[in-house]
């Protein structure tokens, strides 16, 4: 939040349950200060039972929008008045924009966030026969798969504990790609020869069990990325680095997904820089 707040300040925020772990207030607060914007970005702890009333209150309170995090991204789909085509396709909205008439528009910027993050890591997906293995089939995995489709990845292998959820993902995100679904116990088969491995489960996140898989079957030049960013260096990334594989951590996805939302609310396209990254990482408060 800037120190320049006036009575005309614009307000945005992030709704989640819980919300105390979120790095988004620190991230948007950095940009508000950097661009000297008369605005605020506030953490909002919203119980899922109260999501609809909270979203409907945004226009009443003069908010220009909010981000949504776990567990609201899919729930919001049935509440908002408008959905952009990507949010509709992915089945999840992580950004809400309050239109001038007070109606709510759901957007998905996680797809952009994932793509930008791996592309800045020199990821080159377009070669023929390229294969990607995605662990997970939740809201974040949907955004990852949609991003891989946009990049032209043809062979996408989904591994998930809950098979119905993985099949539902493939049905919604149909396209010209070839999907295969693997049981969690068959992870090794799904990883065999893959050029890209993405962890889009919550395994490896602080407070969750670690993700423990053998990386030997991956292609020797494989690229490994984890969308978990707390801790920044997950055991998956450490193991991949030890094998000499190319690695990109998950913090960049958070930074890049925030940029189009900030631009929509505050009218300024912000830059993702190493100073921003250092600022967000400097948050050691509980």
Ligand X SMILES: NC(=O)c1ccc[n+]([C@@H]2O[C@H](COP(=O)([O-])OP(=O)(O)OC[C@H]3O[C@@H](n4cnc5c(N)ncnc54)[C@H](OP(=O)(O)O)[C@@H]3O)[C@@H](O)[C@H]2O)c1
Positions marked active-site: 73
102 phi and psi angles, rounded to 5 deg = 90, -5
- Tell me the residue number closest to ligand X, measured at CB: 138
Q: Which residues contact 9 (CB under 8 A, 6 or more apart)?
A: 38, 39, 40
Distance CA 283, CA 161 (A): 33
CB of 67 to ligand X, least distance (A): 10
CB of 211 to ligand X, least distance (A): 8
Place of tokens 């400097």: 282
Tell me, what DSSP letter sits at residue 244? T
Closer by beta carbon to ligand X, 29 or else 91: 91
CB of 110 to ligand X, least distance (A): 5
CB of 137 to ligand X, least distance (A): 5
Closer by beta carbon to ligand X, 10 or else 90: 90
Tell me, what DSSP letter sits at residue 179? E
Closer by beta carbon to ligand X, 10 or else 12: 12
Closer by beta carbon to ligand X, 65 or else 139: 139
CB of 272 to ligand X, least distance (A): 12
Closer by beta carbon to ligand X, 12 or else 147: 147
Q: Which long-range contacts (CB under 8 A, 24 or more apart) does 164-173 make?
A: 165/137, 165/138, 166/137, 168/137, 169/137, 169/141, 169/142, 169/145, 172/89, 172/90, 172/91, 172/142, 173/89, 173/90, 173/142, 173/145, 173/146, 173/149
Enumerate binding residues for ligand X (CB under 6 A): 70, 110, 113, 136-141, 160-162, 165, 184, 200-203, 205, 209, 227-229, 250, 253-254, 257
Contact 30, 279 (CB under 8 A): yes
Contact 97, 67 (CB under 8 A): no
């Amino acid at each position: 939040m800037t120190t320049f707040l006036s009575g005309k300040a614009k307000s945005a925020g992030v709704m989640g349950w819980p919300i105390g772990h979120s790095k988004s207030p620190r991230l948007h607060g950095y940009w508000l200060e950097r661009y000297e914007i008369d605005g605020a970005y506030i953490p909002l702890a919203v119980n899922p039972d109260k999501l609809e009333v909270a979203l409907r209150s945004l226009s009443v309170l003069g908010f220009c929008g909010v981000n949504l995090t776990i567990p609201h991204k899919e729930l919001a789909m049935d509440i908002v008045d408008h959905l952009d085509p990507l949010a509709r396709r992915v089945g999840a909205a992580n950004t809400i924009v309050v239109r001038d008439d007070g109606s709510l528009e759901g957007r998905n910027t996680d797809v952009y966030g994932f793509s930008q993050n791996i592309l800045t890591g020199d990821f080159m997906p377009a070669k023929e026969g390229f294969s990607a293995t995605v662990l997970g089939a939740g809201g974040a995995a949907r955004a990852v798969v949609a991003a891989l489709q946009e990049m032209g990845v043809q062979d996408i292998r989904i591994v998930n504990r809950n098979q119905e959820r993985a099949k539902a993902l493939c049905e919604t995100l149909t396209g010209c790609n070839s999907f295969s679904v693997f049981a969690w116990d068959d992870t090794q088969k799904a990883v065999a020869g893959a050029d890209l491995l993405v962890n889009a489960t919550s395994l490896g996140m602080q407070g969750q069990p670690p993700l423990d898989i053998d990386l030997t079957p991956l292609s020797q030049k494989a690229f490994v990325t984890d969308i978990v960013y707390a801790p920044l260096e997950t055991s998956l990334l450490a193991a991949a680095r030890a094998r000499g594989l190319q690695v990109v951590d998950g913090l960049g996805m958070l930074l890049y997904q925030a940029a189009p939302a900030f631009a929509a609310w505050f009218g300024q396209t912000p830059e993702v820089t190493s100073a921003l990254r250092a600022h967000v990482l400097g948050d050691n408060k509980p």
